[in-house]
Chain A
């Protein structure tokens, strides 16, 4: 490192915080050295933590209870998005063991996702049969709820890149449906609802809310390219069972993160671009942006009453939730609560009473009372801003908030590279003018620059106050160097005591965006598949063979360790082959692979599972298809010849 390199703002102690903010804060945020006014800071006499030196090692003592001995099992699952890897990952907590990667929007040649016909049918294909998209950007994972807590049925994850919502079955932990949401771009936030707002009998998830971050011309077919006033955003609702669109709401401003209330009545999204700016300086023009609330029951009444429009070819009913349409609270579908400034993150407390919105460019968190927002919709609250009941100053660059079971909130501070623990009731008292109330309880350095942060079971009414994970965007010096692309850090913090305690640095491959920590007893997985659930299964070894219908050839094959049911099969050059492979092994974990050299085919079949691939046999010759997934002492011998006659 040269001297120049280390002249970072952190090493300039004389720089006042305000000045520091004005000169350097946005370097960290945007990468551009632009000087932009930020909302006013309150007095900034918060003491920095004693052990503030970056690179201070985690406490070596007292971590043993967070270790998991060989052969022992973790207490929690962490389900994590994989960012622009397009996948979802599963870790054990507290150990940080990586347990699985679930391919969703990406191509995965280990399992054959994007290669098998079955996965292509879920992904959607172009007319030539190849997947419509092979890239994706997973952002948020949320599971279905029953009675305010996870029920282990489904998990949803969004693709910000192409505007898709995917569903993962929790029994097999595989993706089973993908929906492309019409007329949106930048699908950032998503959240499942927790119960029906009207029907008391539906005390479980039936909807998934989806927010679009990027404004685009409403019909984005080449019209209105340069007219920013025509760029709009939609907030969407998907049916969690059918994975079909229910409705969309036309709004002013954009959507960022999404939250849902415990009583099912409201969905919320924070808006950092109420300005509807197209360039980022425009997006930061206003001191106040908003947290936008959706009245789910009224929206669905409006849809039922036919007060809808349709955009282009889309058959999805769209209702009007713009500011102009929401002037009368008693009929409004939406409520715009003003909050400072370019907020990021909206999270609901486990008791369902409050939403915390982080300021991002304001050093505050805004506490909005759920009951007050409902009052506004009933015409009993004069001003949406009156729903704000707390706005503590917590530090620089607040992004996301998790909650424990003792009324405390834990917010990631991107710029300060800290987690701040603050008490929600104290923040409310302080806002009311109680000078004795001190909202901030504790601060902890994390390494470095946290994005999402979340607590164990913290997005349920069963929040247990055990762990907080800080998904940090940079690891810098925390791990062995591995070239220019570093691992990222998911730091595990014990929040069970008064003081937060950093107990583990877990390395993660780029780039986890958000995660949830779920108690292990909630998850019930299947051990093997059933032959019967695959309509194309080859049920009996006697059914194996090559079946020709003109140029279309079906090859039916069975795997049972250590052999495939045919030692060789013959096809002709130019045939369109559909190869169906059923794994007849019943032993748990006895998965077989099937790789065809030079034909760019590889996939696996789990016990009792059936998969198929379709390809044109365009190269004559002998091709040794072999089992790629270690299965048996005679794994290497497990082969079959595909003979392509010229």
Chain B
């Protein structure tokens, strides 16, 4: 396996009890923003850039596409470049729980280490309802000192993890995407991280249809099973979750799993660069949860490929009506998710990550644990077989 198997770690439980911490006037909620914030060339004249890049004393105007500013420290013989500051909304458009973006100012040094994160404005009313707004500030503070090219995941330990906020997972999962994707957008431009070029997969056209056990055996369906004990729940006859997933664009997989008509119909709904995966599961846990119902974000599953990660919105979900492949495991939950990014390539390995959780019955607060499983289309589905890849040393360990 390209990545180590399952990572398990129990996280600090944040007991965010039901205090009546309604709008306490803390910074952030619906804070009016400077009118020229998104257009002014001199970004740092309007927002506190120094706060997110300590040591910097001057800044360039907006540059690059998407835009960022260079941060300098004065020296005797002029000034030196010590990092970059950027506004999340210049780079990514990721609505959070409220449907509006969390406007975030981020600083990063020249090695790609995050130096500061400051939330300028959010509309997350969930943070007014029983969850302290300071939790979001605490959450983003966890990124300081971490390398932007690391696969930072919420509830994750094995690579680089950050702790979630119980009750606000949609907010933190999207905020994680906001920080990493904005950071990578700038890091790639300035040469800290080599731009990822993963050529799209070319699939072999095979007429044969495999049944479920054969798909599982060849690896075009993968399984992620988590026992109750692994999330700290009492032993149970049912697993926490027993989940199967696979990549549907590959015709021999898609046709086997969905049948010809449904496969054709699904592919006709996809644009170039879009990818469909399916997930089915049974057990006591749910991979859907209910976060998507309010925030539109599925906060329990994501797909990660190298340093890129892909989350799913409600609009990326389609119902999976039927598994045509004979012998499929019985399931309680099912989904088709669409990855809408040409950065993803099915020719290369990827991981499905699952954010499992345990609920405390008394307080309703949750403990989060992340698990994942690698997926790499078997050779026979790819024209020319699997491409050669270099095993990547986790970037965080390079320095």
Contacts and interface: CB of A to CB of B under 8 A. Distances in A.
Contacts of A520: 321
A586 B97 CA distance: 11
Interface stretch (A57-65, A345-353, A407-415, A521-529): A521-529
Given A73-B319, A633-B126, A590 B98 contact: no
A521 B258 CA distance: 11
B99 A561 contact: yes
Interface string A355-375: 000000000000000000000
Interface string A397-429: 000000000000000000000000000000000
A586 B95 contact: yes
Contacts of A225: none
A528 B296 CA distance: 12
B300 to A, nearest CB: 15
B295 interface: yes
A520 B319 CA distance: 10
A586 B333 contact: no
Nearest to B258: A521
Contacts of B293: 589
A560 interface: yes
A521 B262 contact: yes
Nearest to A74: B321
B262 A560 contact: no
B314 interface: yes
A560 B321 CA distance: 33
B321 A73 contact: yes
Given A527-B314, A527-B315, A528-B315, A633 B129 contact: yes
Contacts of A587: 95, 99, 294-296, 314
A633 B130 CA distance: 12
A632 B125 contact: yes
Contact of B265 (A73, A75, A521, A527): A521
Contact of A585 (B99, B129, B319, B322): B99
A31 interface: no
B389 interface: no
A436 interface: no
A634 interface: yes
Contacts of A632: 125, 294
Contact of A561 (B98, B261, B315, B333): B98
B269 interface: yes
Contacts of A282: none
A71 B129 CA distance: 28
Given A520-B321, A585-B99, A586-B99, A633 B314 contact: no
B332 interface: yes
A545 interface: no
Interface range for A = 20 to 34
A224 interface: no
A588 interface: yes
A238 B265 CA distance: 29
Contacts of A562: 125
Interface string B313-347: 01100010110000000001100000000000000
B46 interface: no
B202 interface: no
A71 B332 contact: yes
A585 B269 CA distance: 23
Interface string A35-77: 0000000000000000000000000000000000001010100
Nearest to B99: A585
Given A71-B332, A521-B321, A633-B129, A590 B261 contact: no
Interface in B43-81: none
A633 B129 CA distance: 8
Nearest to B126: A633
Contacts of A561: 98-99
A560 B129 contact: no
A75 B261 CA distance: 16
A586 B319 contact: no
A633 B99 contact: no
Interface string A602-646: 000000000000000000000000000000111000000000000
Given A71-B332, A521-B265, A524-B265, A560 B125 contact: no
Contacts of B188: none
Contacts of B321: 73, 75, 520-521
B280 to A, nearest CB: 12
Contacts of B100: 560
Nearest to B316: A527
Interface string B300-319: 00000000000000110001
A399 to B, nearest CB: 33
Nearest to A526: B315
A608 to B, nearest CB: 10
B179 to A, nearest CB: 21
A461 to B, nearest CB: 14
A417 to B, nearest CB: 35
A527 B129 CA distance: 28
Nearest to A637: B125
Contacts of A633: 125-126, 129, 294
Given A521-B265, A561-B99, A588 B126 contact: no
B314 A588 contact: yes
Nearest to A519: B321
A589 B126 CA distance: 18
A586 B296 contact: yes
B129 A524 contact: no
A590 B99 contact: yes
Of A71, A73, A562, A587, chain B has the most CB atoms within 10 Å of the CB of A587
B315 A588 contact: yes
B125 A634 contact: yes
B261 A521 contact: yes
Given A71-B333, A586-B296, A587-B295, A560 B269 contact: no
Contacts of B98: 561
Contacts of B95: 586-587
A390 to B, nearest CB: 34
Interface in A568-605: 584-590
Interface string B103-131: 00000000000000000000001100100
Q: Which 4 A-B pairs have the closest CB atoms?
A: A587-B296, A588-B314, A585-B99, A527-B315
15 contacts: A73-B319, A73-B321, A521-B262, A527-B314, A560-B100, A561-B98, A561-B99, A586-B95, A586-B315, A587-B295, A588-B315, A589-B293, A589-B314, A590-B99, A633-B125
Given A520-B321, A587-B95, 17 more contacts: A73-B319, A75-B321, A521-B262, A524-B265, A527-B314, A560-B100, A561-B99, A584-B99, A586-B99, A586-B315, A587-B295, A587-B314, A589-B314, A590-B296, A633-B125, A633-B294, A634-B125
